[in-house]
Chain A
């Protein structure tokens, strides 16, 4: 059984999510990124475009939600 409380020096970096999300679930994405970089044919500009989309879309998605949250805070509270 997983311990529900951890010694302070281990908190918050060790839990099943650490291994599950970063070790298993995101593994296909690591493989994809590796293949983009090392396979042939490849091109730094297109890889940058792909990575830019991944990073940019994530930032835009949560960034715009954050801005909307701030707007709600200012307007209603």
Chain B
């Protein structure tokens, strides 16, 4: 791709909005509006409008879809920046065209994860009043504080990564960017000189290094599963397998998210040349690999839970296996894996619409699995504290509407950001990508 044509292609989303763009924006806002309508009911009447008040108004479950969706969004956030970091650290240049979209997905998905904690605690100001004053003391002991700490660090690292890498592109594409955002560009380009490119490239290489260790191993394979795995009183939650299991689900859903976002931009802006089918074919293989790990770790949990397990773990596992929704989740991921396997054997079976459909199915499956994990873990504890609470947990319309709202936020976020900065890195079309390679050899 010649540089001029490439730059024209790359900056296509920055042009005046099309009717389709406006339609998508309105649809995103409508999703947010539906959720706000229900959220207003929750703010006015309290968590009683969900099934999550006090000890849980349905079967003793004070944690439900909100916490399941929180884990799900953090998981989606993970793959984004990990993919981008892998492009930089491991030279996986094939995925360069989707690297920045992946970074943006991390920011949007982490925002949704934070939002879920805010709406889960009831009064939104509890997010600050229960965390900030207690932090210096409770970070020593509380897994909840560990989560807040590491998610904050992760968000800040990702945003810093984006802010540092965007300078290179804004400088070179400034004549094609809309003048209306000049103050934004001026702020982003503070103190920029071309001389810094090599230095900043080295800095973001180390940023990517920090992220690729911290995010998978210590956040989604660490402090997030430890919210559950460290509680021996909850049979379905406890145990070291939760770390790898959470991580496999995170990576599976994250790759699905990237596939959907990249396919949407490719379709909307005719980016067949910029994001070739090969990128999706490659991503599908990663999706298949992570889905396989996900299913394998489910098998580990089922086998250790039913063979000769302690009574309560055996009970929790048997309940899980008799829950139809669990098999729906496993089935959706399993069918996706079957398709990816088949298309790896026979490439003609592969198509982008099909892998997008698989990605939606996998995302639905992982959300169901995570919510069930949270709910059933609480329902089948080692103690009988919740046994007297009648009913069973079913997500309320208030909770369900939040999914619509969060997806709307991600849609609006991408549409808005795509009008301000290029959502594909300039490196993706540069023949001289080598000049920006990290210079870590000098370290």
Contacts and interface: CB of A to CB of B under 8 A. Distances in A.
Interface stretch (B14-22, B200-208, B319-327): B200-208
B156 interface: yes
B175 interface: no
B311 interface: no
Contacts of B141: 15-17
Given A32-B207, A36-B203, A12 B137 contact: yes
Interface string A45-71: 111011001100110011001101100
A43 B248 CA distance: 39
B300 interface: no
Contact of B164 (A15, A35, A50): A50
B4 interface: no
A8 to B, nearest CB: 13
Contacts of A40: 439, 442-443
A36 B146 contact: no
A53 B164 CA distance: 9
A16 B157 CA distance: 24
B156 A72 contact: no
A58 B152 CA distance: 7
Contacts of A26: 153
B132 A66 contact: yes
A14 B159 CA distance: 32
Interface in B222-256: 222-223
Contact of A43 (B146, B199, B206, B207): B199
Contact of A62 (B132, B140, B157): B132
Contact of A72 (B125, B163, B164, B223): B125
Contact of B206 (A12, A16, A32, A62): A32
Interface residues of A, number: 40
A29 B210 contact: yes
A26 B153 CA distance: 9
A76 B291 CA distance: 47
A28 B128 CA distance: 27
A57 B156 contact: yes
Nearest to A57: B156
What's the dominant secondary structure at chain B's contact region?
helix
Given A46-B200, A66-B128, A53 B209 contact: no
B232 to A, nearest CB: 11
Contacts of A14: 140
Contacts of A47: 203
A46 B156 CA distance: 17
A15 B140 contact: yes
B443 A69 contact: no
B129 A39 contact: no
Contacts of B145: 17
Contact of A25 (B129, B142, B223, B442): B223
Contacts of B213: 28
B434 interface: no
A7 B155 CA distance: 36
A62 B139 contact: no
Contacts of B194: none
Contact of B440 (A17, A39, A50, A57): A39
B155 A61 contact: yes
Given A35-B443, A41-B439, A53-B159, A46 B203 contact: yes
B12 to A, nearest CB: 29
A41 B149 CA distance: 31
Interface in B90-148: 123-125, 127-129, 132, 136-142, 145-146
B74 to A, nearest CB: 15
Interface of A: 12-18, 20-21, 24-26, 28-29, 31-32, 35-36, 39-43, 45-47, 49-50, 53-54, 57-58, 61-62, 65-66, 68-69, 72-73
25 contacts: A15-B140, A16-B140, A17-B138, A17-B141, A17-B145, A17-B146, A21-B149, A24-B218, A25-B222, A29-B153, A31-B209, A32-B206, A32-B210, A35-B209, A36-B206, A39-B206, A39-B442, A40-B439, A43-B196, A45-B196, A49-B164, A54-B157, A57-B160, A62-B132, A69-B127
Given A35-B209, A58-B156, 11 more contacts: A17-B146, A25-B146, A25-B219, A28-B214, A35-B206, A39-B443, A41-B198, A45-B196, A66-B128, A66-B132, A69-B129
